[in-house]
Amino acid sequence: MKPNHITTGVMQAGDIGYLVTGLKDISSVRVGDTVAAFDQAHRIEPLPGYKEVRPMVYAGIFPVDGGEYEKLRDGILKLKLSDASLTFEPEHSSALGFGFRCGLLGMLHLEIVQERLRREFDMEVVVTTPSVGYEVVLTDGEKILIKAPADFPDPSRIREAFEPWAKVDIVCPKEYLGNVMALVQDRRGSYVTTEYLDVSRAILHYTLPLASVIVDFYDKLKGVTAGYASMNYEFLDYQLAQIVRLDILVAEESVEALATLLHESEAYRRGKEIVETLKEELPKQQFVLKLQACVGSKIIASERLSAYRKDVLAKMSGGDYTRKSKLLQKQKKGKQRMLEHGKGAVDIPPETFIKVLRRN
């Protein structure tokens, strides 16, 4: 044993070292691959037991500064070297610019990737609301995995849709059992059984849709148990579900960055939350702004952002009512023309998108 690196042609059991392969593409190598000499490769059986990790959570990661796309790409590529479970593909958003749709094992994994990008590569990023992958069977029998709202097919082409479910174990004091049960029921959970660890603590076993677990379930759980509960979850299977695409319309134009996939029963609540947040965060326009949430062609939630009103009478120190009335009518007609020609022409600041994504 020597403390320094030495070059050798052979590595034996117990040795610690590395191979220089000359590979140019990082994605060509995966954890679990079997390395063999070129002339012996046809006689070597791959070592058994290794399976490719399947992402459970998907999120868009975009640079805060649009000019740092290449820096973000290099950072994610380097993270991929030491994190085989991280997957990514390029994604473009009209609101956030160029970024990546990343596949991860869970929310903790997402937080780790975000923190490593910040700490190791000095990258400030915007992370869109995490979602799960839905399996969709089309009318022609083809089965596809949907990772993003933009990939969701027209409802007329869908025969069945399936969402991932998880086994969830929750440990909490007995006095909070009622609160926990109410929370899980609100998230479409199914009760399995209860085990009592001692006279004061119990384990509740549930199955829940993975989409109901990954975003804020743990925070809500801590809230209803005064911080005393803990939980763990693991993927169970895919189950039949009514999955819809929720679109957000601003001035009657769909905003792709705010679209989301979710269960039909949750569409109204989520849509109302988003349009109410937009009403608070969007700057006022010269005309009344319609903010709508819709599923297909059906509007399920709506708000109106009042117009910024210029005081056209400010320069009039006097004068009769007729002149004032004409000015007000002229202003009204002008705003109506702006409304008619302003559909889809509203410029939404990137900061507004970031606030909406973080709050919802």
When divided into structural domains, the chain yields a total of: 3
The answer to whether residues 297 and 228 belong to one domain is no
Task: Give pLDDT, residue 12.
Answer: 82
Percentage of the chain exceeding pLDDT 90: 33
Task: Give pLDDT, residue 117.
Answer: 92
Task: Give pLDDT, residue 193.
Answer: 94
User: In terms of pLDDT, which residue wins out, 305 or 29?
Assistant: 305
Give the tens place of pLDDT for each residue, 12-50.
888 888 877 777 766 677 767 788 877 877 788 887 766
Q: What is the CATH number of the domain that holds 179?
A: 3.30.70.240
Mean pLDDT over the full length of the chain = 82
Number of Cβ within a 10 Å radius of residue 291: 21
User: In terms of pLDDT, which residue wins out, 152 or 43?
Assistant: 152
The answer to whether residues 265 and 352 belong to one domain is yes
Per mean pLDDT, which of 27-36, 296-305, 326-335 is the most reliable? 296-305
User: In terms of pLDDT, which residue wins out, 5 or 116?
Assistant: 116
Strands in the chain per DSSP E: 57-63, 87-93, 97-104, 125-127, 131-132, 134-138, 143-146, 158-173, 190-196, 201-209, 230-240, 243-250, 253-254, 260-263, 289-295, 298-305
Residue 296 gets the label, from left (phi > 0), alpha (psi -120 to 50) or beta, of left
Percentage of the chain exceeding pLDDT 70: 82
Residue 28 lies in a domain: no
Which domain range does residue 340 map to? 244-359
Residue 318 lies in a domain: yes
Give the tens place of pLDDT for each residue, 100-143.
999 988 878 888 998 999 999 998 888 887 888 999 999 999 99
Residue 38 lies in a domain: no
Q: What is the CATH number of the domain that holds 322?
A: 3.30.70.2570
